Amino acid sequence: DADVTQTPRNRITKTGKRIMLECSQTKGHDRMYWYRQDPGLGLRLIYYSFDVKDINKGEISDGYSVSRQAQAKFSLSLESAIPNQTALYFCATSDRTGAQPQHFGDGTRLSIL
């Protein structure tokens, strides 16, 4: 089983709909992150969390919200989806000790029509 699991893997929806992307991890890591990937732009950080009581905005948080339901679960919501939120979304985790590398899920491909 994957250490970092994202659901769904693919989603097509319409403008204005509410969408939730889910991420769960079995690595026991405290830190979790949400990124979006767009062609030619690399990965950009949306939100990150260090524990269930800690939520921080990344560089592109507008239009998104998150929930850290447990150490192992971190959800990303689009309250009212718009077409320019069409992208590939990644969840990542890392250990709390120093500058550890981040471990990524396989991504959710989201298309908003």
Partner 1 sequence: AQSVTQPDIHITVSEGASLELRCNYSYGATPYLFWYVQSPGQGLQLLLKYFSGDTLVQGIKGFEAEFKRSQSSFNLRKPSVHWSDAAEYFCAVGNGGATNKLIFGTGTLLAVQP
Binding footprint of partner 1 on the chain (CB under 8 A):
4, 31, 40-45, 48, 56, 58, 90, 92, 94, 98-107
Nearer to partner 1, 85 or 102 (CB): 102
66 in Cβ contact with 77 (< 8 Å)? yes
Residue with Cβ nearer partner 1 (39 or 70): 39
Comparison of 7 and 80: residue with beta carbon closer to partner 1 = 7
DSSP string, 27-39: S--SEEEEEEEET
Report in angstroms how near the CB of residue 70 gets to partner 1 at its nearest. Answer: 20
By the 8 A CB rule, do 51 and 73 touch? Answer: no
Task: Please count the other Cβ atoms lying within 10 Å of the Cβ belonging to residue 80.
Answer: 11
Cβ 14 to partner 1 shortest distance, Å:
24
CA 36/CA 51 separation, integer angstroms: 21
Nearer to partner 1, 18 or 44 (CB): 44
Rounded CA separation 18/85 (Å): 12
